Amino acid sequence: MNDTATPLESFIGYKADTGMQCGNYSIDIPKLQEGEQYRFHFDATKCVGCRCCEVACNEQNNNPADIKWRRVGEMEGGSFPDTLLLFNSMSCNHCVDPACLIGCPTNSYIKFDNGIVFHDDPSCIGCQYCTWNCPYGVPTYHEERHIVTKCHMCHERLAADQSPACVQACPSGAIEIEAVNILEWMANDIDTSGNMPHLADARLTNSTTRFTLPDNMPLEMLKADEHHLKPAHGELPLVFMTVLTQMSLGAFGALFIGDILSLFGFFKPTWIFALLALVPAALGLPLSALHLGRPLKALSAMKNLKTSWLSREAAALGAFTGLMSLNVALYFFDIATAVRLGFELVTLLVGIYGIHAQAMIYRIPARPSWDRFSTNQKFFTTAYSGLFLVALALIISGTTDSATPLLSSAMILSVIHGFFTLGAYNELKASSTPQLEKTLRLYRELFATLHTLRWITLGLGALALPLLSTLLIASGLTSLAIITLVLGFVLIVLSELMDRFLFYTTTVPLQMAGGFFVGAQRH
Amino acid sequence: MINTIKNFLGLDIKAAKYALADDPMFGRISDAKKPDKWVFSTCGYCGVGCGLYIGVRNGKAVYTKGNSAHSVNMGTLCPKGLSEHEMITSSNRLPSPMVRKNGKLQNSSWEDAFTQVSKKFKEISEKHGSSAIGVLSTGQLLTEEFYTLGKLVQLGLRTNNYDGNTTLCMASAVMGYKQSLGSDGPTGSYEDFQHANVIVLVGANISDNHPILKLHIEKNPNKPKIIVIDPRKSKTAQMADMFIPLKPRTDLALFNGLAYIVLEQGWENAEYLKANVTGLGDLRKHLQNYPPQEVANITGIDVKTLYEIARSYASSQAVLSAWTMGVNQSYMGTDTVSAIINLHLLTGQIGRPGAAPFSITGQCNAMGTRETGFTSSLPGYRNYGDEKAASEYADIINVPLELIPTQRGYKYGEIIEAIERGEIKALWVVATNPLVSFVNQTRLRKALAKLELLVVQDAFMSDTAQLSDVIFAAGTWGEKEGSYTNSERRCNRASKAVSPPGIAKSDFDIFLEFSGYFDGVRELIYPNWKTPSDAFEEWKRVSRGQLCDYSGMSYQMMELHGGIQWPCNEQFPLGSPRLYTPDIGFRTYDGKAKLLPLEWIPLQEPTGEQFPIILNTGRTVEQWHTRTKTGNIDILNDLAPEAWVDINPADASALQVKSGDRLSLSSPRGRVDDIVVRVTQTVREGNVFVPFHFNTQLINQLTTSSFCPKSGEPNYKQTAVQLHSVQVPQGIVMKSPEISGTLSYESSEVQSVPKTTGHIVQMIRPF
């Protein structure tokens, strides 16, 4: 038997005779000049859709089969025999203005001097906000690790002049690393060479990947996964958290107005009412930590107040809840009304800002169904549920004369809320945005029953039963009115939870074209 | 418990598992998978034959990395190669031989398994003659193993009813080379993709099946003109400068037509023909039946395009025609291969850099079995019936001449028919899975049920293994030593990186030990053989002087040079990149290649009212053949977990289906349900494509028992079928030919003349 040594001791210095970057484990790229960064070049005219890059990436990074940093998408256009199959092999586009980095509440993204958008694993809390923000769906949540992970252009290999795994693996030389002058790219070339069918406009985040596309491409390129209709994650902890904090804002608003009106002789709220306003938020906020991969690190979500709406929300709603707690003490120890009113005004403003920040989290181009003014409208008007809560408490405490106007206000606000909700839905019907069309299909094809239930519960809980209860109050049947209103309130909460669930689960993100079976390979 | 809590709270992000570390050979790679050693080897999937290293950590294969210094792949590997180490630890591996007891397969000792099979073989031999034993082999073993198996079957068991699954893929190329050039043996090299000015890919979807070949095309500095001839706009067709969407199974007529034009225009290479070729007169006469207009009618390719292709062959410095299953898997596959060779001979496009008619092999070592395997010829491409060759062989291996078979036994399909007739009583299936891969499954299964004994030797619990009476559990790629020969005759070294699971043995050891159960056989055919190198040394002597000459090779050379292309001897110490150069003559009796008159035959199972659609089958890059190897590798299987049917939008709308819906397909032989629809313009109206890998949607239930009479290769590629959707269960209504064309001709439009003729011919020869 022969035991001869392998022909080469090491491939690091070895250059295969391909004339391309592929095949070699080391790479020749010029040192970066001032104003330059590294980027990918993908040549779609060379790619044959063999998926070597996908597998090579996972092998390099030890990622399991369902965590794909590099994905190959398929598109088709034209008609037989002039059919064009177009492949898009994409990992991270290492943007000039990365949406992942801007939105990250924990500053876990770092744009290296060489342009690589790097994810710092230890500081990540697994909030997955980056997976929402990236218009390419690049960051992917790794359940086993409880954090998000993404392509880093094999930066450790590059630093040692070694080829990234995908570049090394491509038998067509379709994937290359290049240096790009950022200003020149942004001034001209990004519009002509930065775009690929079905990808978000490169200008959105100033993506740096250069694409070479075939000449005379058919106008319409269909995605191979066009037939997929997959609901997004339901985000149950966030469903509860958002609805409950919004309810608190409404309840606190009612408390504040009640406190002002008490100056004019109306019912004077007690510490119990102050506590009541606090309870939903106090329940909801900690719940939100449950959607984190690493809930114990929830507090670090406030690290990036400078650019992240998520940080702002966490800080503002945290403060709102804290201030509301203090406010309970102010009531309990009967601190002077003027001081308390001032304090309540500040608290209310913090709360309003908190819900504003909360809504702004969803105002992201990568999720068109969220990125609509109706999101802000709906988030604020969900506060009507807090009004109902306080009104119910008033009736229970026997002050029906104060309760009735509040109940009317609650009903009016709920009608406004209903209109905003309906408007948002009707907007889907009128839209030709592919993502919004799919959102509508999700409503109709997968969640029709839930959607109907949402409206029935809203109609009953926010209108029919409250009206009945006012009649009952007028008739002096207070205990029956209470029962009616409790039932109504339960229905309202259910209705808003359903609506919020639908909000999350029917969103369809901007995403690259995927594979026929696997789609874009994102959960 | 603490870990569960830690895990739930995300306290452990498993940084170590996903960290990188420095490897001296490949640089920074996964730390958790960093190998203790790298083992030089060659990929065990397809016939491209990529050089690679297997990374081994604690006795387990953890990495497969391309060898940058290997001329075949220059560091790259396809997705199957990149994940090949996972195949070794696949959950359907067989760790132990098994014997069926009380109707159930149970683990057994080797002794039990060997005793039971040898006893039965002897019993059947005595009662019905040794030819009542049939053997179906493969293209997956090592060359040393093929040679060893061939000897055991032909000289030990003494049955010539022995064939391989290579008959399902390459047999037509083998027989075509033989009848035109005098011997099997692919003529070209991968480097010819780099030298050619024109690359013709006919019936070859290399993007899915041999993606690494794209590297060689990409390296070509001449910006070659790429002509893709295929009824389907495949991934490969996307590379084409000229896409030729010929009608299904009209390839032979196309090449005849091109040859006609070459001769008509005087474009033939007269000098080359005079010196090297016979049969020009007969061919010229025969081709009168294939004038351009007639060929245009048959193929659906217009006359102008035919001239353009013919001119490309005639006027280019170097033309490479590469083909795979589209050509081979045909009831006239052998003659189609010869028709391609005819064109290359006429234009002198052979034996020069970049010029070759070149078959691309499907399996990693289909070549090895062709050279050594004792199926289509005696070892070393010695023809059956050639007495001189037979006695030469008997002398070299020191066995009595009467032991050497004088004629080829049944081919694959004939073996199945012989089982049907009750002629063959026992079948030994080695590393192949006919229960997915063979045509007309209903008929096959009925036949196999008649067997008295079915032995399956495999590394995986295949569909066929599940049906067997005895299983010989074998080692697979990475677990054994030897060599593979790739499509370009390059003999590559395959090494053992890890041991087979449980008590499974390498195929070589199985053959050796099994032979010991037959009196005197082991001593006679394997004298003092212990390791595969003993087989290799004998094989080198056997092949000396033959076209596939290994006599100058050694394992060390294979490693050092990244494989050696035979012939390798004193004249070509480092092998030869191509055959039929001025130094290597044709292996015919007169030393000249033969131009052959070849007849095109219309579809044997034409479409009709009941079955109006043509079904084409093939492969996808993520899966390997019948998925015994790839079905349990998630990263591959997830990408293509089930079969699908490619269907033109026009047919989809007739069936009221869209992508993602489900269809059934039926043919006169059966019905396959629950195939997911993929609406696509890559197939023409009236044509569908379904990959054959999947036992879950067993498309070979529909295919027909129609074989090339010369090679025995089944015609997988055209089956008349009907499609049934939930909305339109009765299926597609056949469109009647447009005879109204005649009217429009009379009404003035001169342009419609060729069109009209086309329709009339279409009526005569419905496609």
For A515, phi and psi rounded to 5 degrees? Answer: -95, 160
Tell me what the mean pLDDT of segment A283-303 comes to: 93
Q: Is residue B38 within 8 Å of residue B27, measured between CB atoms?
A: no
pLDDT for position B738: 58
Is pLDDT at B748 greater than 60 in this prediction? Answer: no
pLDDT for position A8: 66
pLDDT band at B349 (very low <50, low <70, confident <90, very high): very high
C-alpha distances in Å from residue A85, one per residue of A193, A216, A351, B228: 19, 13, 52, 15
Tell me what the mean pLDDT of segment B574-581 comes to: 96
pLDDT band at A515 (very low <50, low <70, confident <90, very high): very high
Q: Do B680 and A160 lie within an 8 Å CB cutoff?
A: no
pLDDT tens by residue, A398-438: 888 889 999 999 999 999 999 999 999 999 999 999 999 99
pLDDT for position A523: 77
pLDDT for position B1: 72
Chain B: residue whose CA lies nearest to A66: B635
Residue B196 DSSP symbol: -
Tell me what the mean pLDDT of segment B730-751 comes to: 60
Q: Do B218 and A17 lie within an 8 Å CB cutoff?
A: no
pLDDT tens by residue, B597-608: 999 999 989 999
Among B23, B37, B41, B82, which would you mutate to test the A interface (most chain A Cβ atoms within 10 Å of its Cβ)?
Answer: B82
C-alpha distances in Å from residue A445, one per residue of A200, A233, A440, B4, B535: 26, 17, 8, 38, 65
Residues in contact with A276: Cβ distance below 8 Å, sequence separation at least 6, in sequence order: A251, A389, A390, A393
Contact list in B for residue A297 (CB cut-off 8 A) is 10
Q: Do A294 and B10 lie within an 8 Å CB cutoff?
A: yes
CA distance B526 to chain A (A): 18
Q: Which of A2, A51, A296 sits opposite B555 (nearest CB)?
A: A2
pLDDT tens by residue, A325-370: 999 999 999 998 999 999 999 999 999 999 999 999 999 999 999 9
Chain B touched by A520 (CB under 8 Å)? no
pLDDT for position B6: 74
CA distance A180 to chain B (A): 24
User: Which residues in chain B are classed under CATH 3.40.228.10?
Assistant: 187-360
Name beta bridge partners: B66: B52
Preceding peptide of B405 cis, ω within 30°: no
Q: Do A517 and B33 lie within an 8 Å CB cutoff?
A: no
Q: Mean pLDDT score of chain B, rounded to an integer?
A: 94
Chain A: residue whose CA lies nearest to B620: A50
Given this structure, which CATH class describes domain A36-223?
A: alpha beta
Residue B132 DSSP symbol: G
pLDDT for position B3: 75
In the numeric block, which tokens belong to residue B398? 């020191």
Chain B: residue whose CA lies nearest to A161: B27
CA distance A519 to chain B (A): 9
Among A14, A20, A59, A228, which would you mutate to test the B interface (most chain B Cβ atoms within 10 Å of its Cβ)?
Answer: A59
Q: Where are the domains of chain A?
A: 36-223, 236-505
pLDDT for position B743: 47
Is pLDDT at B751 greater than 90 in this prediction? Answer: no
Touching B: A residues 146-165, CB under 8 Å: 146-147, 149, 154, 156-157, 160, 162
Q: Do B218 and A226 lie within an 8 Å CB cutoff?
A: no
pLDDT for position B478: 97
CA distance B286 to chain A (A): 32
pLDDT band at B51 (very low <50, low <70, confident <90, very high): very high
> A with B: how many residue pairs have Cβ under 8 Å apart?
238
CA B11, CA A122: separation in Å to the nearest integer? 10
Among A516, A521, A522, which would you mutate to test the B interface (most chain B Cβ atoms within 10 Å of its Cβ)?
Answer: A516
Q: Do B27 and A160 lie within an 8 Å CB cutoff?
A: yes
B117-165+367-565 topology per CATH: Rossmann fold (3.40.50)
CA B176, CA B360: separation in Å to the nearest integer? 14
Is pLDDT at B741 greater than 80 in this prediction? Answer: no
CA distance A176 to chain B (A): 14
Helix or strand holding residue B322 (H, E):
strand B319-323
CA distance A189 to chain B (A): 26
pLDDT for position A286: 92
Residue B375: CB atoms within 10 Å: 28
CA B86, CA B89: separation in Å to the nearest integer? 5
Q: Do B69 and A14 lie within an 8 Å CB cutoff?
A: yes
pLDDT band at B373 (very low <50, low <70, confident <90, very high): confident
Residue A70 DSSP symbol: S
Residue that wins the pLDDT comparison between B6 and A198: A198
pLDDT for position B95: 98
pLDDT tens by residue, B100-129: 999 999 999 999 999 999 999 999 999 999
pLDDT for position B2: 75
Instruction: Pick the range with the lowest mean pLDDT from A31-40, A399-408, A502-511, B647-656.
Output: A399-408
Residues in contact with A243: Cβ distance below 8 Å, sequence separation at least 6, in sequence order: A284, A382, A385, A493, A496, A497, A500
Tell me which CATH homologous superfamily contains domain A236-505: Formate dehydrogenase/DMSO reductase domain (1.20.1630.10)
Q: Which of B18, B560, B659 sits opposite A227 (nearest CB)?
A: B659
CA B719, CA B597: separation in Å to the nearest integer? 27
pLDDT band at B749 (very low <50, low <70, confident <90, very high): very low
Tell me which CATH homologous superfamily contains domain B187-360: Dimethylsulfoxide Reductase, domain 2 (3.40.228.10)
Options 1.20.1740.10, 2.20.25.90, 2.40.50.140, 1.10.1740.10; CATH for B2-88 is: 2.20.25.90
Tell me what the mean pLDDT of segment B30-44 comes to: 97
Residue A437: CB atoms within 10 Å: 15
pLDDT tens by residue, A121-170: 999 999 999 999 999 999 999 999 999 999 999 999 999 999 999 999 99
Q: Do B30 and A61 lie within an 8 Å CB cutoff?
A: yes
Ordered DSSP codes for A272-341: HHHHHHHHHHHHHHHHHGGGSSSGGGGGGGGTTTTT-HHHHHHHHHHHHHHHHHHHHHHHHTT--HHHHH
Q: Environment class of residue B387 by beta-carbon count within 10 Å: exposed (0-12), middle (13-18) or buried (19+)?
A: exposed
CA distance B345 to chain A (A): 31
Is pLDDT at B754 greater than 60 in this prediction? Answer: no
Q: Do A294 and B11 lie within an 8 Å CB cutoff?
A: yes
pLDDT band at A522 (very low <50, low <70, confident <90, very high): very high
Residue B221: CB atoms within 10 Å: 8
Chain B touched by A3 (CB under 8 Å)? no
Is pLDDT at B760 greater than 50 in this prediction? Answer: no
CA A426, CA A140: separation in Å to the nearest integer? 32
List the Cα angle B395/B396/B399 in 5-degree steps.
55
Q: Do domains A36-223 and A236-505 have the same CATH topology?
A: no
pLDDT tens by residue, A105-121: 999 999 999 999 999 99
Among A3, A10, A50, which would you mutate to test the B interface (most chain B Cβ atoms within 10 Å of its Cβ)?
Answer: A50
ipTM above 0.90, yes or no: yes
Tell me what the mean pLDDT of segment B169-173 comes to: 95
pLDDT tens by residue, B72-89: 999 999 999 999 999 999
Given this structure, which CATH class describes domain B613-724?
A: mainly beta
Q: Give, to the nearest 10 degrees, the angle between helix A400-430 and helix A384-396.
A: 160
Is pLDDT at A3 greater than 70 in this prediction? Answer: no
CA distance A521 to chain B (A): 10
User: Which residues in chain B are classed under CATH 3.40.50.740?
Assistant: 117-165+367-565
